[in-house]
Amino acid sequence: MIYFVRHGQTDWNVEQKTQGHTDIPLNADGISQAETIAKSILNLNINRIISSDLLRARETAEIINQSIGVDISFDQRLREINYGDLEGIPRTELTPNIWDVFNDTPEKLNAEPMSSVFERIKSFFDELNQHQDNILIVTHGGALRIIMHYAESRDSYDKEKYSNSHQNSKINNASIFQWNKEQTAIQPVFL
């Protein structure tokens, strides 16, 4: 079984700033959320943790691991989407036209195309499929949406399918999900 956790809260989450590769730490609530996750997942028999290397995910993973004490590693492929020039801008200031540019021609904003995010996620899971452990993956909201798309499609990024099924999914800080790799859907976990 693979379990997923979105990192705990940051100040940029509170301020609704676009947060991609910018390395923002957890705030006090985010630290508390990570501690709560650690207590709630003790019975899941996690064998190892793999986390995005960005600070907010890394801190979340390290706090969780203080309670479960397993091997922990960090992987850049689990990073959030790189939003380029949009990073640090409050979401309330980003118009639908700006999001259209981001979705259709992200290079104009020095941003990462979704197809590239999909390819790095696919690369991670192609490698991970060789392992049979119960794994906890600590990552980001945007990356989790792409992971959900990957679970359904496995082979290639489908822009229309992603737009219709996951692009606007709400994933709260410290949300927990699970995935049996034989299934095509990632499910929320309520502990």
32-73 pLDDT, tens digit per residue, is 999 999 999 999 999 999 999 999 999 999 999 999 999 999
166 catalytic, yes or no?
Answer: no
> What is residue 83's DSSP assignment?
-
119 catalytic, yes or no?
Answer: no
CA distance 76 to 51: 8
Q: Identify whether 107 is part of a domain.
A: no
Q: Which domain holds residue 128?
A: 2-81+113-188
| CATH code assigned at 16 | 3.40.50.1240
Q: Identify whether 61 is part of a domain.
A: yes
- Of 80, 87, 112, 166, the catalytic one is 80
Best CA proximity match to 39, nearest among 186, 176, 187, 179: 176
CA distance 167 to 176: 18
Q: Identify whether 43 is part of a domain.
A: yes
pTM score of the predicted model: 0.94
C-alpha distances (whole Å) from 4 to each of 8, 63, 115, 119, 147 are: 12, 15, 21, 19, 10
> What is residue 155's DSSP assignment?
S
| Total domain count, the chain | 1
For tokens 């790799």, name the residue. Answer: 181
Q: What is the pLDDT of residues 91-137, one digit of tens each?
A: 999 999 999 999 999 999 999 999 999 999 999 998 887 667 899 99
- Of 7, 140, 149, 166, the catalytic one is 7
Q: What is the pLDDT of residues 9-31, one digit of tens each?
A: 999 999 999 999 999 999 999 99
SS3 177: strand
Q: Identify whether 103 is part of a domain.
A: no
Q: Identify whether 91 is part of a domain.
A: no
Q: What is the pLDDT of residues 145-176, one digit of tens each?
A: 999 999 988 788 988 988 888 888 889 999 99
